[in-house]
Amino acid sequence: MRIAIYGTGGVGGYFGGRLAEAGEDVVFIARGEHLRAIQSQGLKVDSIKGDFVIEPAQATDDPTEVGAVDVVLVCVKAWQVPEAAEAIRPLVGPDTMVVPLQNGVDAPTQLADVLGPEHIIGGLCAIISFVAGPGHIRHMGADPSIQFGELDNRPSDRVENLRQAFERAAGVTVVVPPDIQVAMWRKFLLIVTWSGIGSITRTPIGVFRDMPETRQMLQDVMQEVFNVAHARNIALPEDVFSKTLAFMDGIPPGGTASMQRDIMAGRPSELESQTGAVVRLAQEVGVDTPLNRFIYYSLLPSEQKARGQIQFDI
C-alpha cells in the first residue's frame, strides 16, 4: 500500500516507521530539522518493542510532491486537524482512505467537512512516544496498538487491507472493533479524565488517583462523559468505569497526559478537543457537565494566553 504519514511525531513516526519496516510504501510528511534529518540519515526509532531505522526514508514537507495515496494517517495534534485537512488535499484521490489518530472525537467530522465523508474512517491509537531529536522517535511506554473502522461499522475491503498491513508490522497490535464509535469514546473518556484532572491539579497521575478527593473527581468526570455519550447514542458499556480506573491504576505514578504537559509548559494544548469538546457536545444534547465545565473554564485563560489571544503576568 502507498501510505502517507501526515505528522511525523511520536505517533506518526512510530506507526509509519513500523509499516515501512514491514515493507509498505510509506512517505513521511515532516518539516524543519526533523525533515532534513530523516532525509539525510533516515528515521530512527528507539522502542521498548525493538529499535529500528528506516534508511533511506521517503520524506517531504510538500504533499503535492507525493500525489494521491491509498491511505493517509493523520497524526497531528487534535487542534491542528482543520489546517491539516486542507494541507492533505493533494494526497487524496478518488479511493484514498483518511485515518485520524487524534485524542478526541471531532477529527472525523472535521476531515469529512473538507475532504468528503466517503474518504474518512474512524481511528485511535495507544502509545507513549515522542520526538527525541531531529529524525529520532522514542517509544518509552504502553504496548502500541491501533484501532480503526468504517464510521458506520460496515465491513470493507479497504479497512481489511489496512488491517493486514498492520498485521504484518512488528511491535503493533491492530484491531477492527465491532463499533468504532464506542472504541473512540472509550479512549475519549479516558483521556479527558486523565488530562482534565492532571491539568487542574498540576500533579502526576500517581498523586491524584490515590487521594480520595481527587479520585472521586476522576469518577465524576467519567460519569459526565458517559452521560454525554449515551445522550448522543454512543453505547458505552457500564464496565467502562471499572476498566478505565483499572487502566489508570496501572500507569506508572509519574505519568502525565500530553494536554497536561502542554498546559503546564505554557504551550497551546488540546483543551478545546478534550474537555472543551465534552462541554460543547453536552450542550448540544442538553446534558449538564458541571465538573467538566469548571475544569474547562478554569484552564481557558492559560490556553488563550498560550495562543496569544490574551496577555497577563503573574
User: What's the CATH number where 213 sits?
Assistant: 1.10.1040.10
Same domain, 170 and 198: no
Range(s) of the domain holding residue 246: 182-306
Neighbours of 3 (CB within 10 A): 23
The pLDDT, as a whole number, for residue 251 is: 87
Q: Is residue 314 part of a domain?
A: no
Cell of 277: 469538546
Same domain, 15 and 124: yes
Looking at residue 120, the DSSP 8-state letter turns out to be B
The pLDDT, as a whole number, for residue 295 is: 98
Q: What is the pTM of this model?
A: 0.94
Contact criterion met (CB below 8 Å) for 97 and 73: no
C-alpha 142/C-alpha 248 separation (Å) is 12
Same domain, 148 and 194: no
Same domain, 132 and 212: no
The pLDDT, as a whole number, for residue 252 is: 85
Same domain, 211 and 167: no
Same domain, 68 and 117: yes
Same domain, 79 and 147: yes
C-alpha 81/C-alpha 242 separation (Å) is 31
| Total structural domains within the chain | 2
Last residue of a domain, one of 139, 154, 178: 178
Average pLDDT for runs of 10 along the chain of length 314: 97 98 98 97 97 97 97 96 97 98 95 98 94 96 94 97 98 97 97 97 96 97 98 96 94 90 95 97 98 98 95 87
Same domain, 103 and 208: no
Same domain, 110 and 96: yes
C-alpha 14/C-alpha 130 separation (Å) is 9
Q: Is residue 252 part of a domain?
A: yes
Last residue of a domain, one of 118, 153, 178: 178
CATH code for position 102: 3.40.50.720
C-alpha 136/C-alpha 42 separation (Å) is 9
Last residue of a domain, one of 178, 206, 227: 178
Same domain, 174 and 192: no
Q: Is residue 13 part of a domain?
A: yes
C-alpha 222/C-alpha 123 separation (Å) is 21
The pLDDT, as a whole number, for residue 296 is: 98
The pLDDT, as a whole number, for residue 230 is: 97
Same domain, 219 and 277: yes
Q: Is residue 312 part of a domain?
A: no
